[in-house]
Amino acid sequence: MYPFLLKNFDSEYTLKDKNLVKLDGLCGDVPVLSQKMLLSCRTKQPSVIQNGGFQGAFLKDVILKNPSVLGNQSGIIGFPFNIRSVTANEDIPLRQSPSKETRKNKMWYIIDAKEDAVISYELKDLNGFTGEIQSCILKDGDIVFIPPETRYSIGKGITFVEFEFVLNDNLSEFYILSAEETFETAQDITIFPFGVVRNLSSENGFISDMLKFNGKAGLCEENSFLSVVVLSGSVSLSYSDGSMKIGEMQSVFVPAKTRIELLGTADIILSHI
């Protein structure tokens, strides 16, 4: 196996009766939300492999036929991981994340938040949703964790990368880690010759790190796939049989036990289960 460079799918949405509806490109509606699928194994908008022997194939189909690419996750039915970048061009009203049974949890990494941009969510108690709304101002570098069955709204002027992942034990609550609580905290930062690594998540086995990368480094996950998302800059990714250039908002799926080498200068998010 080799690393798969994935094709992005862009889509835009408008609001109809407070619901997000995908624009078909034919009407004059103004998009209130724009998204780019960076890694997807959904039935709609699945990622397409752009390189090598599997070029043109859907990532989800290759995984189903070759489950060992997931490493120790190969026993999971279906693929528990999706990544997209999202920009809210207008305020997005309250909406609910999937049910607990889906086990779909979300983590947002805030790339850009305009002044006073907020995320709001409805509080819950033992009897369910209370109707009380809590709002939080976001800033660049913040991390948001959203468990299933959370009602939340997105404020205008926020751009983030969303990671949707399945856990055996769902996140217990909605919470935010500010940039100051993480990037400037010693236990969350590790300095290497190739740059600075900031841990974004170690939630129930979902591991995600932000790399301020400048140099050269080798990587290999023995027990899991590895997702590589370049937020800005560019790197050369080399492997045993070739190499590729990865630029801004491009994504690569690296099968388990596949060694890669990165060279360049970029902000990169590495994730695995």
In the chain, what are the domain boundaries?
4-178, 186-272
Q: Give the model's pLDDT for residue 173.
A: 86
Q: Give the model's pLDDT for residue 78.
A: 42
Cα distances (Å, whole numbers) of residue 98 to 76, 105, 155:
19, 8, 20
Q: Give the model's pLDDT for residue 179.
A: 75
Q: Give the model's pLDDT for residue 75.
A: 47
Two tokens at 102? 């889906």
Return the CATH class of domain 186-272: mainly beta
Fold matches, 4-178 and 186-272: yes
**Tens place of pLDDT for every residue, the chain, 273 residues?**
999 999 988 888 888 877 778 887 655 677 899 999 999 988 778 899 999 999 999 999 999 899 889 887 654 444 568 999 999 999 998 877 766 667 788 999 999 999 889 999 999 888 888 989 999 999 999 999 998 889 999 999 999 999 998 777 788 888 888 876 655 454 566 777 788 888 888 877 788 999 999 999 999 998 889 999 999 999 999 999 999 999 999 999 999 999 999 999 999 999 988
What is the distance between the alpha carbons of residues 158 and 188, in angstroms, rounded to a whole number? 24
Nearest to 210 by CA among 125, 132, 141, 127: 141
Cα distances (Å, whole numbers) of residue 67 to 7, 79, 237, 239:
21, 10, 23, 20
134 Cβ contact list (under 8 Å, min separation 6):
120, 121, 122, 123
Query: Which CATH number is correct for 4-178, 2.40.50.100, 2.60.120.10, 1.10.10.10, 3.30.70.1450?
Result: 2.60.120.10
